[in-house]
Structure 1
């Protein structure tokens, strides 16, 4: 186990090990999912990691005990700096989803997070849904299940982690039938208009919508179902919105957003957003969808999504897959996605472990 203390120095051997760890995670993701959509170029990951205003990081590689030994495990622990400062977000990848390697990585993640005074760590891992006749582990929310004998699940359970929640990872084949989108948009607009209208932007929030965009991002941290995950509200300001946009640009990514504006107040009260890597035109990722409490029940979610998918056809004509993740208990959003044609691919397990911080 080797902590990369000099990963940001492009002339240091740690930088090469960081690249090797990222390449391992890419191979494992492609082997599991059957496509390279999650193989974000190293340069983008590195650029994002170097922007440290809101998060600090530890990077660790697990390699064979020999000079130039093969990297067989990769670990990142992400530490929020401005809110949720009790948390550590874990990203671990073991060669072949190996149980013993994963256990070693999780033990190191626990040690590093506790040394920084963190009291909870979390990770999200991909699984196949437990089939009929297989052993079943239900999430604490009561929605979603995985097979506890799966090699990754076995590692988390052996290390004392709890399965707090599951999410559905679904894919929408692109492009979507335009007649269907037009029909959904017209039906939704008939309910929402003239009290609401839609606005959209690409990559950069218009100045007059910046405060509203920040408010919606902040609501995403509390209004989306989280089960018993130990997460508190994330503070978003207009400056943080701009920071996040600059970070996406530094990682060679773009985004498209559609928002619902309440005509009487002029405030944007809902939004949906997708991100996409410029170097991989086939993949698009749903980043957020939300309607503020008090403005629900007007079919704004479907209207925004149908409009976004229509705009996406022109903006990303080569896109073939839109990925989204929804809490298994979020029936309303899941029903919208099913109507649009999303197909469930995997179950994402949300794991959590409480820690006793180490004070040095």
Structure 2
């Protein structure tokens, strides 16, 4: 049976079940990549479970068929509730066989459920070994429950991601075979890795990588606190990125950015305790480039997460993408000095951005594949 993590209580510590979920997710990622750069944190998950106006997350745990304590509260979906924060006296999650995180976009892609399934350590295959039948059975139960929830809440598209070693071709392996058996189809492949900061700033100072053009300058933005005059140009780039960033055959609707939405996003940066750093490239025509990174609460301060990097079409073909990312690295060294590297993920078809990352000494850690299943309408 499954239990449902309740909404977090602000200011309370994460419950043991949440800590276990995060530990297992990180264990699986680190066994694949051999690195901690792709790890998440309990604080980050707790903020995700709080939800927002643009995205919500449901967290479920698959447990043995233990008796539910009398008087247990039930969630809106009918599951027994267990706390996401504070003490958990039920002990229902102590021996969970697996976990489900179900992401629910609330403004665009409202027919999609983003599925992340996490196995207990006892079911994870040792590198080089096969996935045992018991582990496959748990995965099938998790995928079946994700599909059941999607039907209950009226969504008909399931999307999930697999992480694999850089040497393993995308779409191969036992986990990929299980997804195919369950009706998922591959839609996009990615490459993940990190860029070292110090090795990229040793030879030039901030601003020196830009062409000696009086009309070209870089503007550093902290936590999306954007000067009023730059908001229209930034919004245009966000809209453009939502269309141009490769999605393959995965369903993805364009994001309708507005000044109000940007303001709300800036407020969420604060409420979720993130540190966000953006560099805008500007010329006489306005904002022509954006590159940004984020430091999430509870995460390793050595590692930042790369967000969008985009050059406006009117400024492409001049090598500004590489220059912009170099400016970002210099800004990080100044504004977030604890950081040592930037974890970045890039679609394998995005040859231009791959070339930029390789020019910065990108070290590949893993590959990823996005999968999708459409449920038949009833």
TM-score between the two structures when normalised by the length of structure 2: 0.80
Q: CA separation of 1:232/1:147 partners in 2, compared to 1, >3 Å: closer, same or farther?
A: closer
Distance in 2 (CA, whole Å) between partners of 1:56 and 1:177 is 37
Please identify, of 343-352 and 196-205, the stretch whose mean Cα deviation from structure 2 is larger. 196-205
Distance in 2 (CA, whole Å) between partners of 1:195 and 1:357 is 55
Given that residues 224 and 278 in structure 2 are in contact (C-alpha distance below 8 angstroms), is that contact kept between their aligned partners in structure 1? no
Q: CA deviation at 1:221?
A: 1.2
The DSSP-based 3-state class of the residue aligned with 1:189 is coil
- Other-structure match for 2:287: 268
Residue of structure 2 aligned with 1:327, choices 343, 347, 352? 347
- Other-structure match for 2:149: 112
Structure 2 gap segments, 5+ residues each = 67-90, 126-134
For each residue in 1:94-113, what CA deviation from the matched residue of structure 2 results, as whole angstroms up to 9, or x when unmatched?
23164332222122112212
Structure 1 gap segments, 5+ residues each = 132-144
- Other-structure match for 2:50: 50
- Other-structure match for 1:138: none
- Other-structure match for 1:165: 188
Please identify, of 27-36 and 229-238, the stretch whose mean Cα deviation from structure 2 is larger. 27-36
Alignment pair present for 1:94 and 2:119: yes
- Other-structure match for 1:140: none
Distance in 1 (CA, whole Å) between partners of 2:6 and 2:193 is 37
Q: CA separation of 1:353/1:197 partners in 2, compared to 1, >3 Å: closer, same or farther?
A: same
The DSSP-based 3-state class of the residue aligned with 2:310 is strand
Distance in 1 (CA, whole Å) between partners of 2:269 and 2:100 is 22
Q: CA deviation at 1:2?
A: 1.4
Alignment pair present for 1:153 and 2:154: no
Q: CA separation of 1:277/1:61 partners in 2, compared to 1, >3 Å: closer, same or farther?
A: same
Distance in 2 (CA, whole Å) between partners of 1:177 and 1:330 is 22
Distance in 2 (CA, whole Å) between partners of 1:258 and 1:10 is 32
Q: CA deviation at 1:189?
A: 1.7
- Other-structure match for 2:77: none
For each residue in 1:83-138, what CA deviation from the matched residue of structure 2 results, as whole angstroms up to 9, or x when unmatched?
2212121222123164332222122112212222222221222101455xxxxxxx
Q: CA deviation at 1:318?
A: 2.9
- Other-structure match for 1:64: 64
Q: CA separation of 1:161/1:241 partners in 2, compared to 1, >3 Å: closer, same or farther?
A: same
Given that residues 129 and 346 in structure 1 are in contact (C-alpha distance below 8 angstroms), is that contact kept between their aligned partners in structure 2? yes
Q: CA separation of 1:188/1:73 partners in 2, compared to 1, >3 Å: closer, same or farther?
A: same
Q: CA deviation at 1:287?
A: 0.8
Given that residues 181 and 307 in structure 1 are in contact (C-alpha distance below 8 angstroms), is that contact kept between their aligned partners in structure 2? no
Cα RMSD, aligned residues only = 2.7
Given that residues 18 and 59 in structure 1 are in contact (C-alpha distance below 8 angstroms), is that contact kept between their aligned partners in structure 2? no
Distance in 2 (CA, whole Å) between partners of 1:216 and 1:49 is 29
For each residue in 1:277-333, what CA deviation from the matched residue of structure 2 results, as whole angstroms up to 9, or x when unmatched?
354221111011011222211222112111111121222333232111111011111
Number of equivalenced pairs = 338
TM-score between the two structures when normalised by the length of structure 1: 0.84
Given that residues 289 and 309 in structure 2 are in contact (C-alpha distance below 8 angstroms), is that contact kept between their aligned partners in structure 1? yes
- Other-structure match for 2:235: 214
Given that residues 209 and 326 in structure 2 are in contact (C-alpha distance below 8 angstroms), is that contact kept between their aligned partners in structure 1? no
Q: CA separation of 1:243/1:92 partners in 2, compared to 1, >3 Å: closer, same or farther?
A: farther
